[in-house]
Amino acid sequence: MRFELTPRTSVSPVARALAPVVAFITAFLIAGFVIWLMGRSPIAAFEVYVLHPLSDPWSLQELLVKATPLALIAIGLSYCFRASLWNIGAEGQYVMGAIFGSWLALKTHGTDAGFWVLPLMMILGIIGGALYGLIPAFLKTRFGVNEILTSLMLVYVAQLTLDYLARGPWRDPKGFNFPQSVTFDPSATLPSIMESGRVHYGFVFALIAIAITAVILGRTLFGYRLKLTGDAPRAARFAGFSSKATVMAVFAISGGLAGLAGITEVSGQIGQIQPSISPGYGFTAITVAFLGRLNPIGILVAALVVALTFIGGESAQIMLKLPLDLTQAFQGILLLCVLSADAMVSYRVRLVTRGGAK
Amino acid sequence: MSILEAILLTIVTASTPLLIAALGELITERSGVLNLGVEGMMAMGAACSFAAAVSFDSTILGVLAGMLAGALMAALFALVVLGFAANQVGSGLALTIFGLGLSGLIGAPFVGARRDPIPHVDVPVLSDIPFIGRLFFEQDLFVYASFSLTILIAIYLMRTRSGLTLRSIGENHTSANALGLPVLRTRLLAILFGGACAGLAGAYLALVYTRFWSPGMTNGRGWIALALVVFAAWRPGWLLVGAYIFGAATVLQLHAQAAQFGVPSQVLSAVPYLATIIALLLLSIRHGRAIGAPGSLGAPFVPDR
Amino acid sequence: MKADVSSSGPPLVELHGISKRYGDLLANDGIDLSIEAGEIHALLGENGAGKSTLVKILYGVIEPSAGEIRWEGKPVIIGSPVEARTLGLGMVFQHFSLFDEMTVAENIAVALSGEWNLATVRSRLTEISSTYGLALDADRAVWTLSAGERQRIEIVRCLLQNPRLLILDEPTSVLTPQEAEHLFVTLDKLSTEGCSILYISHKLEEVRRLCRRATILRAGRVVATIDPRASTAREIAALMVGNEVGEIRTDAPHVPQGEVLRVDHLDMPPAGLHGQALRDINLVVRAGEVVGIAGVAGNGQSELFAALSGERLADRAEAVTIAGKACGMLGIEGRRRLSAAFVPEERLGHAAAPTHRLSENTLISHASTEVRSGFILLSAAKRLARTIIKSFDVRTPEGDPQARKLSGGNLQKFVIGREIIRKPKLLIVDQPTWGVDAGAARLIRQSLVDLARDGSAVVVVSQDLDELFEVADQMAVIHQGMLSPQKPIGEWTKEAVGLEMLGVAQAQGGAHAV
């Protein structure tokens, strides 16, 4: 028994659009099966994971809050992935952005610094993430070091740096020895969009990033250059696009957006520096980017869908005593399903038993 | 036993899982498949081996369960990258995310449990050699297994027919297919072997190195094993050297933390990761491009029918 | 020979009604073919006639959609190359199935079935090498070998299996004329020993040199089975290409004008691990002339193309001068702005992105006219694609298809058209008609000649000597990264070119020794 792949001669746009949906449903069925294996009711889990958050206004807001960093990071990653560059260190760039931006928040803490603090924090966040993203890009272009492993290793380094700051120099001396900083001043806190809501301006940044990206990828030479670099690298060189410049540019963009996600999360959501500021947004965003087919609008939808699993995971932990790890396992399976569905859009897969087709 | 000897002994213990996992990945990559899921397979190996060992109170069953778990994870990966020709980088990453999550689920009921140390086996005569004897010939079976595996894999690759077939397929799958070599079957077996090795490495972590289970206990070792394969230029002998250098780095930073030099512990904890980056960098500076990489590494194979 | 055919039993192998369908395309359409024991049988046809598909079916690489194969009169199913080899078939592919990083002995061993060890492989290799004059060093890594030596590995692989039928797919396309003659001697010897040979080619001369029977394919069908020595070249050519035979018009006389391209002592280190270095290349191309660069594959042609196009930069600006501007250190876009245009050898992946539409593919070399302040002018790109399709007779399945959906010939017409339509002062083309059907090849050659007659300078790098003799006004030969002096085409003979290809002329003459 074996699989036989034949390239499809034509791919209908419907199949292309449906692929992620099918992948998502498959992943759900697999997750349901796992829950059933654990001796729980998959139906109850579905209610808690999906229906409950969607029917509760508080959870709906929470959905946008969680989707914000996912969308920002995934939009950045889509630049890399389109050019077939594997930045898997967005988690580290996110942390580094948070560290850069928070530095200013803590520096100005207790002073009557003005309106300029917040925008400057955001810019510092972008710079921090971009610089951190440029490390693997520089090592790749200058020395030919594989970007996958370096960008991933830098995640651990960034997390340890944050851990050090939160427990060491940035710890609140009046904080009963808790490993966390002082709470940011209002001038360093990203405000909510609505008076009493929890959705902060990070969500607006995400929407702006999506809109700009849609224009860049669809209409500009730079967008075409990424596509060409990813689809046919030799043709990109033939067209005169420097691959080194492309690598540096996309890592800077994706790092910068991850950094922006980091500082908006700290400034708009957490409100202080802690040893851990992310439930793995940087890795989950990889799933989001592929689930959204690297398309800006697709990524927005995918971010909302995946954010749902985070919220569902939290309520399932409280209501069903299902561990949070289930969410991570689900996100892994989801990515596997999405990539398989992507491949199946390009190839017809047949299961052939020996002697059957021969 | 002197402190130095104790440190050296722990270096052997820290290096063994890296070596075993990296040997498995070396075979997978030599067949032309890049499996970035080592970390996830290792975590699953650790969780399943610990769960089985505690449940049945048997180290052997634990080890088998760990290897089986790694191989099953690898089988899932093989289905996706061989069966559907999906992107290998993304799929490997997904496998790691999945494995880290699922291992948390499986290990959760066993948090807090402990296992007794497994017995060491002395090699007669050799263990009487001063210093070296104590270090390398009074070890547990896993250590001996890792050395044997290194030698066997080196012989397999360079001296056997099957090893030649595996290398050919990794070097150029189009040529191999034209010659009628079984590309997909060989790759499937290589992926499964890599998974079983990662599972075994995880089992070693849980049953020998820490003797307890905690979520995320692999702590990037799977990724370091991946880097080791690049560092070793896909050769088993260099893998042994690399694994011990990294094992030493891990252990020494732990001792340095204990000694409290005044350096923040986080800086020392970052040493293995920074060392990995520096090792990859030095390698690239010396050889230019990644030397020794199998020609078809990471490329999906779709036969021309 | 003919007497033997009628007296002996059933033919060694017979194909009956073999068909192969790829979607809408019938690559093979009911093909019948039979080969006798000890016969050298030619399979003739233009590129795209279905020769490669047919032999891949015979060798078990592709499964036929319909038809039957008989081996010594008995029906057989050949499900894989392994089964083919067990049966007694051996095949030398046009694209070698070799492993660059491995040694010659390993490359041979990996293809053997049954028991072996490297020591016995090595001794058998020595034995076969001396019997058939196929010199090979067992411990050399394949990437260090020439194309001719690589082909020998493939032949030795087959001979070690004691084949009853040896299939060779366009074996001389990578050989110098002298190496080809050497191969023919080996094949004659094999055939007198009783081994049948199926010889695939589109070159009439060598088929007439080797074979008594030839099956001619056109558009997937057998059009005739003939004795090539009893037919004239013109008759056979007519059978092969149908009514598409035609000659290139060069009515306007060749009047070279000002110098457009000058290459001056160009040196370049190899690009990759196994690349070819360029050494002291000198070349002058004037407006109004076509300069041909001949040479066996892998002697630095693609490196020369990269150096001339600016995909790789020289270390001195004066190494390459285009239209009077020293531009050795200027990238490809900069050289395009000097009105130079380039067509690389590889159509899919280098000249064009396979999954991109033709309109998008125009951006690759027309970015300067189709982009305004960073934004792509989509309508301009579409309009240009339509113009190229119309002017160069590109046949497309739909209005603006993906590049990979075009046949080789049509895509090549598009890619060449995309550059010619810019009316460049200098056009550099690498292997303009490689793997292209006869009709497209003629159109492409004609447009290259026309471009030169309209006052542009054209450089054609090609392995096809006949093509160069047809289009070029001047020619030089590249060998191991060195270029022979350029001479008017009338001063070259095929033999002289062959000697240059082998590097013999350089050693003897020493006129341009390093």
For domain C259-349+424-509, the CATH superfamily is P-loop containing nucleotide triphosphate hydrolases (3.40.50.300)
Give a yes or no: residue A332 inside a domain. Answer: no
The strand pairing partners of A61, in sequence order, are none
CA distance C371 to chain A (A): 7
Q: Is residue A4 part of a domain?
A: no
Q: Does the pLDDT value for residue B305 go beyond 70?
A: no
Report which DSSP code applies to A191.
P
Report the gap between the CA of B150 and the closest CA in chain C (Å).
22
Q: Which of C351, C354, C378 sits opposite A238 (nearest CB)?
A: C351
Average pLDDT over residues B59-67: 96
Q: Which residues of B touch A2 (CB under 8 A)?
A: 184
Report the neighbours of C using a cutoff of 3 or more CB pairs below 8 angstroms. A, B
Alpha carbon distance A48, C466 (integer Å): 75
Task: Considering only CA atoms, give the Rg of chain B.
Answer: 19
Separation in Å, CA of A239 to nearest CA in chain C? 5
Is pLDDT at C172 greater than 80 in this prediction?
A: yes
CATH number, residue B148: 1.10.3470
User: To the nearest whole angstrom, how far is the Cα of A10 from the nearest Cα of chain C?
Assistant: 9
Element (H, E) at C259: strand C259-268
ipTM of the complex, rounded to two decimals: 0.90
Residues of chain A short of pLDDT 70, as ranges, are 1-2, 9-11, 352-358
User: Is residue A39 in some structural domain?
Assistant: no
Q: Who's near B233: CB < 8 A, 6+ residues apart?
A: B283, B287, B290, B291, B292
Within 8 A of B172 by CB-CB distance, chain C residues are: 97-100
- The Cα–Cα gap between A267 and A124 comes to 12
What Cα–Cα distance (Å) separates residue C224 from each residue in C2, C61, C221, C451? Answer: 17, 26, 9, 38
Mean pLDDT of C136-151: 86
Angle at C180 between CA C175 and CA C186, to 5 degrees: 130
Chain A positions contacting chain C at CB under 8 Å are 9, 219-222, 224, 227-228, 231-232, 234-235, 237-240, 242, 357-358
Tokens of C49: 């006639």
Please list the residues that pair with C89 across neighbouring strands.
Answer: C165
Residue reference for tokens 């069953």: B61
Nearest-CA neighbor of C218 among C189, C186, C244, C183?
Answer: C244
Distance of alpha carbon C107 from alpha carbon B164, whole angstroms: 9
How far, in Å, CA of B213 to CA of B81, rounded? 30
Asked if C344 and A228 come within 8 Å (Cβ–Cβ), the reply is no
Spatial distance between the Cα atoms of C442 and A100, rounded to a whole number of angstroms: 64
For residue B28, give every residue at least 6 positions away whose Cβ sits within 8 Å of its Cβ, in sequence order, or none. Answer: B34, B35, B190, B191, B193, B194
pLDDT at C181: 87
Question: Does the pTM of the predicted model rise above 0.90?
Answer: no
How far lies A90's CA from each of A298, A308, B96, in Å? Answer: 19, 21, 16
Q: What is the mean pLDDT of residues C44-69?
A: 87
φ, ψ of residue C64 in degrees (nearest 5)? -75, 155
Q: Say whether A238 and C350 touch across the interface (CB within 8 A).
A: yes
pLDDT for the residue A196: 73
For chain C, how are helix, strand and coil distributed in percent, rounded to 5? 40, 25, 35
pLDDT at B17: 96
Q: So what's the pLDDT on residue A4?
A: 72
Domain at A291, CATH number = 1.10.3470
Which positions ≥6 away from B73 have C-beta within 8 Å? Answer: B37, B40, B41, B44, B95, B98, B99, B195, B198, B199
Residues 132-161 of A with CB under 8 A from B: 139, 143-146, 148-150, 152-154, 156-157, 160-161
- Least confident segment among B27-31, B153-157, B230-234, C264-268: B230-234
Of the residues A2, A224, A225, A346, the best mutation for testing chain C's interface (the one with the most C CB atoms within 10 Å of its CB) is A224
**Residue C4 in this model has a pLDDT that exceeds 60:** no
Rg (CA), chain C: 24
Q: Please, what is the average pLDDT of chain B?
A: 90
Where are the extended beta strands (E) located within A8-127? Answer: none
Number of domains in chain B: 1
Q: Are B25 and B225 in contact (CB under 8 A)?
A: yes
Hey, what are A289's tokens? 């980017």
Tell me the C-alpha distance between C53 and C20, whole Å.
8
| Shortest CA gap A176–chain B (Å) | 21
pLDDT score for C3: 39
State the Rg of chain A over Cα. Answer: 22
Closest chain B residue to the Cα of C80, Cα to Cα: B180
**Does the pLDDT at position B13 exceed 50?**
yes
| B170 min Cα distance to partner chain C (Å) | 10
Tokens 């036989």 belong to residue: A4
Given a cut of 70, is residue B43 above it in pLDDT? Answer: yes
Number of domains present in the structure of chain A: 1
Position A295 in a domain: yes
- Residue B275, in any domain of the structure: yes
Subunits with 3+ C-beta pairs closer than 8 A to A: B, C
Q: How much is the pLDDT for B94? A: 95
Pairing of strands C487-488, C474-479: antiparallel
Q: Tell me where in chain C the CATH 3.40.50.300 domain(s) lie.
A: 2-244, 259-349+424-509
- Collapsing DSSP to helix, strand or coil, C326 comes out as strand
Q: Do A240 and C63 touch (CB under 8 A)?
A: no
User: Residue range B262-272: average pLDDT?
Assistant: 87
- Provide the pLDDT for residue B4: 82
- Amino acid A2: pLDDT: 67
CA distance C353 to chain A (A): 5
Amino acid type, A256 = G
Q: Strand order in C25-35's β-sheet?
A: C25-35, C13-22, C66-71, C74-76
- Specify the range with the lowest mean pLDDT, choosing from C453-467, C478-492, C493-507: C493-507
Residues of C in contact with B171 (CB under 8 A): 99-102
Q: Which residue range is the domain that position A262 belongs to?
A: 68-321
Which pLDDT value is given to residue C6?
43
Q: In this structure, are residues A307 and A291 in contact, taking their beta carbons and an 8 Å threshold?
A: no
Query: What is the spatial distance between Cα C344 and Cα C306, in angstroms, rounded to a whole number?
Result: 9
Structure tokens at A98: 């948070």
**pLDDT recorded at residue C508:** 47
Pick the closest to residue C124 from C151, C161, C99 (CA basis): C161
Q: Considering the domain boundaries, does residue A240 fall inside one?
A: yes
CB-CB neighbors (< 8 A) of C23 in chain A = 9
Q: What is the mean pLDDT of chain C?
A: 87
Contact state of B179 with C81 under an 8 Å Cβ cutoff: yes
Reported confidence tier of residue C510, pLDDT bands at 50, 70, 90? very low
Contact between chains at B108 and A88 (C-beta distance less than 8 A)? no
Chain B within 8 Å of A86 (Cβ-Cβ)? Answer: yes
The verdict on a CB contact (< 8 Å) between C351 and A235 is yes
> Residues 6 or more apart from A216 whose CB is under 8 A from it?
A222, A223
**Residue A327 with chain B: CB contacts under 8 Å:** 101
Question: What is the reported pLDDT for C252?
Answer: 61
Q: In A, which residues are within 8 Å of C336 by CB distance?
A: 240
Closest to B198 in 3D by CA, of B43, B27, B12, B29: B43
- Looking only at the bridges linking them, the beta strands covering C165-169 and C196-201 are parallel
Q: How far apart are CA A19 and CA A59, in angstroms?
A: 28
pLDDT of residue C5: 44
pLDDT tens digit sequence for C416-454: 999 999 999 999 999 998 878 778 888 999 999 999 999
A-chain CB neighbours of B271 within 8 Å are none
More confident residue, B68 or B215: B68
Contact A283, A97 (CB under 8 A): no
In chain A, which among 280-339 make CB contacts under 8 A with chain B? 283-284, 286-287, 290, 323-336, 339
Q: Which of B27, B20, B18, B40 is nearest to B188 (CA)?
A: B27
- Residue B184 in contact with residue B236, Cβ under 8 Å? no
Query: Domain C2-244: which topology?
Result: Rossmann fold (3.40.50)
Between chains, do C110 and B164 touch, taking CB under 8 Å as contact?
Answer: yes
What pLDDT does C287 receive?
94
Query: What is the pLDDT at residue A348?
Result: 78
The residue length of chain A stands at 358
Q: Is A43 within a domain?
A: no
Distance from C-alpha of C293 to C-alpha of C463, rounded to nearest angstrom: 8
| Lowest-confidence segment of B16-20, B111-115, B241-245 by average pLDDT | B111-115
Nearest chain B Cα to A357, which residue?
B305
pLDDT at A67: 96
